[in-house]
A = this chain, B = another copy of it.
């Protein structure tokens, strides 16, 4: 009988835990030699499209590092690809989506996705990984948020500033709202299908939230993330909303999306994020700067302890504030994980209980 580690799911629901669960965004990634060995045999998209390979790398950080949750290996751009765009991922250049979508006419050429058809590979990988995990740790599904998908689809590729996508927002709001609405529905359906396929939590990544100012974020990003998140939450599975670069909006994200957990980037003050989590009754996930893992393990330990002392409390899930970088030594990732797993949350829980009593 394997050990059942449900710390992550308990934290998602703000239930008491003896110590915070920990996982790392992009934990199935190039910093692991075992990942690079798989990657040497198959390109990135082949790995995404082959459930056996996706399952293999999804399990690696669970087996090798003992993280408390697995996240399915896939990519946020599988949705635009399933809608009919030509997705390519070249090493060192990043993803590209052929023929950017910049008008209603071009948008009409896209088709809506039936997840068990166009995204079956991703759902199969979830089912296969769930069986392989056999309850050891929970399995997270995910999707890109509408604004971030929109940004890639309009630009055709990643950029520093997403000026072309922002130009669409400012100069053609009608087209923008129509495409965002359509994306929200496709993202929502995909998340629902992931829950049905065995995902025990769902994270929505609005990776380019930080490219928008407050007005545009509230007009073009948050409402559509909320629409997808609500469809996902209706399945009963906990939903994590992560909008890096929009830490100022954490409270609005909690309110608008109804999510269970607020993903928090490394830019955001950890104490402040804890305050928003308590004020809104949500969990909070994050937020060590991935670059902190360049430090010596003793320094990583100190930085992690500082973070824990600032952010631990009800519903806390330890993580980095962005994906782990490909050139981080595995021993450094281990120093982060082991520091969290050696932390005792009793003090943070006692503090929360005392605060509750005082109310």
Contacts and interface: CB of A to CB of B under 8 A. Distances in A.
Interface of A: 160, 163, 166-167, 169-171, 210, 213-216, 245, 248, 266-267, 269, 289, 291-292, 294-296, 299, 306, 321, 325
B291 A269 contact: no
Nearest to A167: B294
How many copies of this chain sit in the oligomeric assembly?
A: 2
B289 A213 contact: yes
Contact of A269 (B169, B214, B216): B214
Nearest to A247: B248
28 contacts: A160-B160, A163-B291, A163-B294, A163-B325, A166-B289, A166-B291, A166-B294, A167-B291, A167-B294, A169-B291, A170-B291, A170-B292, A170-B294, A170-B295, A170-B299, A171-B294, A171-B295, A171-B296, A210-B267, A213-B266, A213-B267, A213-B289, A213-B321, A214-B267, A214-B269, A215-B306, A216-B289, A248-B269
A248 B268 CA distance: 9
Contacts of A291: 163, 166-167, 169-170
A73 to B, nearest CB: 22
A295 B266 CA distance: 32
Most chain B beta-carbon contacts within 10 A, residue among A166, A289, A295, A325: A289
A245 B246 CA distance: 11
A20 to B, nearest CB: 19
